[in-house]
Structure 1
Amino acid sequence: MITAAQLRAARVLLGIDQRRLAELSGLSAPTIQRMEASETMVRGNVDSLVKLITALEDAGIELIDDGASSNAGGRGVRLKAGSGYRPEGTASSGTRTRR
């Protein structure tokens, strides 16, 4: 599962807006807006959730579940190592900026 906070954080890491995420996932922009407005866990039909998570993973996002290996020990998101994905508008020099 994915939380609304993870969804928003993933989108920010990728440097994309809700409309672009909708395009990448094959969902509508209002669907992405509703998902991000959820209180905790994102709700939606299974097909929509699979499309969303697949689009994020294809873009280089790794979802971190509660109890998974991470420095802080909580839920989160991070770019996959070696994903090669650069947020829109960044230079192609091969260097990454830490956030």
Structure 2
Amino acid sequence: MITAAQIRGARAMVGLSTEDLAADSKLPVASIQTIESDIASADAKAITAVRAALEARGILFLPSGSQDSGGPGVRMKSWDEEEGIRPENLNATNDD
């Protein structure tokens, strides 16, 4: 199970507003706000849609204790060099 904090963090990592995430997941903005504030009261299908939308943007959800003794978290998927330029290497000369 993912947490509301993971959803908020993932959305911030990929630079999405609640409106953007609602559009990506085909949900109303109110559903996104509910998931991010009180995930326990949110619809399971809505949580699944939000998770899928964020994973499509490159997010990995990490369960508690998956990397060390820490809690649940999020990170970006491993970068495949064939996919293009790494984000940290983008600049004005290669930004198309």
Q: Same fold (TM over 0.5)?
A: yes
CA distance in 1: counterparts of 2:33 and 2:43, whole angstroms: 15
> CA 1:58/1:95 → structure 2, altered by over 3 Å: closer, same or farther?
closer
Which amino acid counterpart does residue 32 of structure 1 have in structure 2? I
Q: What is the match of residue 43 of structure 2?
A: 45
If asked which structure has higher relative contact order (CA below 8 Å, sep 6+), I would say 1
Structure 1 segments, 4+ long, off by >6 Å, are none
Matched residue SS, 2:79:
coil
Cα shift at 1:83: 6.8
Which amino acid counterpart does residue 50 of structure 1 have in structure 2? T
Cα shift at 1:95: 3.6
Q: What is the match of residue 34 of structure 2?
A: 34
Paired residues, number: 86
- Percent of aligned positions that are identical: 34
CA distance in 2: counterparts of 1:46 and 1:52, whole angstroms: 10
Structure 2: 5+ residue stretches without partners: 90-96
Compare the two structures and name the one with the higher helix fraction. 2
Matched residue SS, 1:63:
strand
Structure 1: 5+ residue stretches without partners: 85-91
TM-score, scaled relative to structure 2: 0.77
- CA RMSD in angstroms, aligned pairs only: 2.2
